[in-house]
């Protein structure tokens, strides 16, 4: 007798995303184990919401703090594009506290909500004794219930394009100490880098130490000549700097090595070099005519409670 092997449906097969403008390979080194925190100031507590053989890094041109094509809206998370139906995974262990439409206005069932169908997880660990949350928005379908405990990597739902989106992706946020739109932080300082790779954080100011918004910054590898272009956070909106770094620019997922950092200030090109170390955050400041520095902040400030912002802000998840 020949056993009948029925083909199993493969609704979640691994498929490559639609090629974008940037030619990137999908291969990256495996991630460090989480939590990964080799300095007292860093906090790579989270894995990523997609499997390691998927695109699991933020799109480059609309990072946290980015402004979407001239619309006066500042991005409160990162977007990771993936085909419709791709499994979305919990970035860390915790309890599901939201599964519904309406997350932005905290109005369950609101079908006009820009986040679409979203899941929020309150994590088992905190940060400086405060509750930590991660948010996964625009799902096609959720796979968990409120009150359910999930482990890192557990499937919590599937990629969709519900809410305000231009295509299937996950909008991923890190929030503390409250699960609210106004309490987000840059996820690239929280998701663990690939092994051997690191993260650059910067604080770009004018000569009077005022933060400069939406300044284009080019970061070029001295080893490979590959360039990355990013921008400082946009004006206003609901973005918050890290309590320690007080940054207004983050570029994650950089292979370790020496990089040239270039920006334009008062019509002059300014540049410096930074070294990216494996599994760590490198840091620089720019202060107008005082130029660049790579001195790190002296000590963590305790005044890190985010400020409530005007309620007129609208989200662009």
234 makes contact with Zn ion (CB under 5 A):
no
Q: Which residue lies nearer to Zn ion by CB, 65 or 77? A: 77
The residue from 58, 114, 243, 317 that contacts Zn ion (CB under 5 A) is: 317
237 makes contact with Zn ion (CB under 5 A):
no
Confirm if 157 and 172 have CB atoms less than 8 A apart: no
The residue from 42, 79, 113, 242 that contacts Zn ion (CB under 5 A) is: 79
Could you tell me how many residues of this chain bind Zn ion (CB under 5 A)? 4
Q: Which stretch binds Zn ion (CB under 5 A): 27-35, 70-78, 186-194, 282-290?
A: 70-78
193 makes contact with Zn ion (CB under 5 A):
no
Q: How far is the CB of 188 from Zn ion (least distance, A)?
A: 13
The residue from 43, 48, 171, 203 that contacts Zn ion (CB under 5 A) is: 171
- Using Cβ positions, the residue closest to Zn ion within the complex turns out to be 171
Segment holding 106, helix H or strand E? none
d(CA 84, CA 264): 39
Q: Residue 177 CB: number of other CB atoms within 10 A?
A: 17
Q: Which stretch binds Zn ion (CB under 5 A): 77-85, 87-95, 153-161, 189-197?
A: 77-85
DSSP string, 149-186: EE-TT-EEEEE---SS-SSSEEEEEEE-SSSSGGGEE-
> What is the number of residues in the chain?
317
253 makes contact with Zn ion (CB under 5 A):
no
How open is the CA angle 17-59-68, to the nearest 5 degrees? 120
How open is the CA angle 75-59-65, to the nearest 5 degrees? 20
Backbone angles phi, psi at 33, to 5 degrees: -70, 150
63 makes contact with Zn ion (CB under 5 A):
no
Q: Which residues within the stretch 21-50 sit at the binding site for Zn ion (CB under 5 A)?
A: none
User: Where does this chain bind Zn ion (CB under 5 A)?
Assistant: 77, 79, 171, 317
């Amino acid at each position: 007798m020949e056993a009948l092997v029925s083909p199993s449906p493969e609704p979640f097969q691994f498929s490559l995303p639609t090629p974008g403008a940037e030619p990137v390979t999908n291969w990256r080194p495996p991630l460090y184990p989480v939590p990964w925190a080799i300095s007292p100031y860093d906090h790579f507590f989270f894995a990523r919401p997609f499997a390691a053989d998927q695109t699991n890094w933020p799109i480059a041109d609309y990072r946290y703090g980015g402004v979407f094509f001239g619309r006066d809206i500042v991005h409160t998370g990162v977007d990771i594009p993936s085909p419709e139906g791709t499994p979305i995974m919990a970035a860390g262990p915790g309890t599901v506290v939201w599964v519904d439409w309406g997350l932005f206005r905290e109005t369950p069932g609101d079908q006009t909500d820009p986040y679409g169908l979203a899941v929020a997880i309150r994590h088992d660990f905190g940060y400086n004794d405060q509750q930590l949350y991660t948010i996964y928005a625009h799902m096609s379908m959720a796979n968990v219930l409120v009150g359910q405990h999930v482990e890192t990597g557990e499937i919590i739902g599937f990629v969709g394009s519900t809410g305000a989106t231009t295509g299937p992706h996950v909008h991923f946020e890190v929030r503390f100490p409250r699960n609210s739109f106004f309490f987000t932080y840059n996820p690239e300082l929280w998701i663990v880098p690939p092994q051997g790779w690191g993260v650059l954080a910067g604080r770009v100011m004018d000569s009077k130490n005022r933060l400069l918004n939406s300044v284009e910054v080019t970061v070029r590898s001295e080893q490979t000549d590959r360039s990355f272009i990013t921008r400082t956070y946009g004006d206003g909106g609901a973005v918050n700097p890290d309590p320690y770094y007080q940054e207004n620019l983050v570029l994650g997922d950089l292979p370790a090595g020496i990089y040239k950092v270039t920006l334009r200030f008062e019509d002059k090109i300014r540049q410096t070099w930074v070294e990216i170390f494996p599994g760590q955050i490198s840091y620089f400041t720019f202060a107008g005519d005082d130029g660049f520095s790579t001195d790190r902040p002296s000590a963590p400030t305790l005044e890190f409670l985010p400020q409530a912002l005007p309620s007129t802000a609208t989200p662009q998840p």
